[in-house]
């Protein structure tokens, strides 16, 4: 019964009509109740299969994200656009990859996937309704059970709903509304916005709040953008008249 309740919850979440970036923080944990795993991520793409945004429960540090884009993003084998194009053109929208010992020795695995404990990945291609718009990636560690037929069937059966719930919003002339994410993590910053003490999840949430689109292409600006974001927040809180700063 619990499994069925989780399926119903996912379908209801996907039918709420919320912006995809707002829905993802609630949807991915619900999905991981159906398909047990330590984390998951959503990647959105454009017509050229270039990554236009992501929401990940585990993020690479900014410097590692920048190296990923510079060294691996466009590679023929490990590059995201080419790998996604292959998955999108396959007959089955669901696929699994478990990295072999040889693959684990590659620069890509050691610099990217090992830091995310992504020894096994279950992929699902999202469509709107025919055009590929992104993918779900679900991660397990080296010693976790392999993604079996039950896991793949569960994701395959949910892709229709996930594609609706995680469909990117159409471009609008109005200013974008940043999603608000609330979790029980506390970060301590100095009066000038310099972080003094913070757990990894706090830093991840601040990055998602400070940067409208977290993508490899913008990785080289992440640290500066986050620093400016924290500085503005602190300046606003300490301003005499409480006025928002531009």
pLDDT recorded at residue 184: 44
Angle between helices 149-165 and 20-34 (to 10 degrees): 160
pLDDT recorded at residue 86: 95
C-alpha–C-alpha distance, residues 122 and 109, integer Å? 16
Q: What's the pLDDT tens digit per position in 100-113? A: 999 999 999 999 99
pLDDT recorded at residue 170: 67
Portion of the chain with pLDDT greater than 90, in percent:
54
pLDDT mean across residues, the chain: 84
pLDDT recorded at residue 4: 83
Whether the pLDDT of residue 182 is over 60: the answer is no
Whether the pLDDT of residue 244 is over 70: the answer is no
What secondary structure does DSSP assign to the chain, as a single string?
-HHHHHHHHHHHHHTS---HHHHHHHHHHHHHHHS--SEEEEEEE-TT--EEEEEESS---HHHHHHHHHHTTT-TTT-HHHHHHHHHHSSSSEEEEE--TTGGGSHHIIIIIGGGT-SEEEEEEEESSSSEEEEEEEEE-TTSPP--HHHHHHHHHHHHHHHHHTPPPPP-SSPPPPP----S---EE-TTS-EEE--HHHHHHHHHHH-SS--GGGGGGHHHHHHHHHHHHHHHHH-SS-PPP-
pLDDT recorded at residue 199: 65
Rg of the chain's alpha carbons, rounded to an integer? 19
Tokens in use for 76?
């023929």
pTM for the structure as a whole: 0.73
Whether the pLDDT of residue 57 is over 80: the answer is yes
Whether the pLDDT of residue 176 is over 50: the answer is no
Least confident of 102-106, 154-158, 242-246: 242-246
């Amino acid at each position: 019964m619990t499994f069925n309740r989780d399926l119903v919850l996912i379908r209801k979440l996907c039918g709420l009509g919320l912006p995809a970036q707002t829905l993802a923080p609630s949807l991915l944990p619900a999905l991981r109740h159906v398909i047990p795993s330590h984390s998951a991520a959503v990647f959105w793409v454009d017509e050229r299969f270039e990554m236009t945004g992501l929401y990940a429960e585990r993020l690479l540090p900014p410097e590692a994200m920048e190296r990923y884009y510079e060294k691996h993003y466009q590679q023929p084998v490990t590059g995201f656009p080419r790998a996604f194009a292959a998955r999108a053109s396959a007959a089955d929208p669901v696929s699994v990859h478990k990295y072999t010992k040889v693959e684990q020795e590659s620069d890509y695995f050691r610099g990217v996937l090992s830091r995310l404990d992504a020894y096994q990945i279950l992929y699902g291609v999202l469509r709107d309704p025919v055009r590929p718009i992104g993918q779900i990636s679900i991660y397990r560690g080296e010693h976790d059970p392999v993604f079996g037929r039950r896991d793949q069937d569960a994701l395959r059966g949910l892709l229709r709903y996930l594609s609706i719930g995680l469909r990117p919003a159409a471009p609008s002339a109005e200013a974008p509304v940043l999603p608000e994410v609330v979790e029980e993590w506390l970060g301590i910053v100095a009066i000038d916005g310099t972080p003094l003490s913070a757990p990894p999840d706090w830093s991840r949430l601040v990055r998602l709040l400070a940067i409208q689109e977290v993508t490899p292409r913008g990785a080289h600006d992440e640290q500066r953008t986050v620093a400016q974001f924290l500085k503005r927040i602190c300046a606003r809180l300490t301003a005499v008249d409480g006025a928002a700063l531009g």
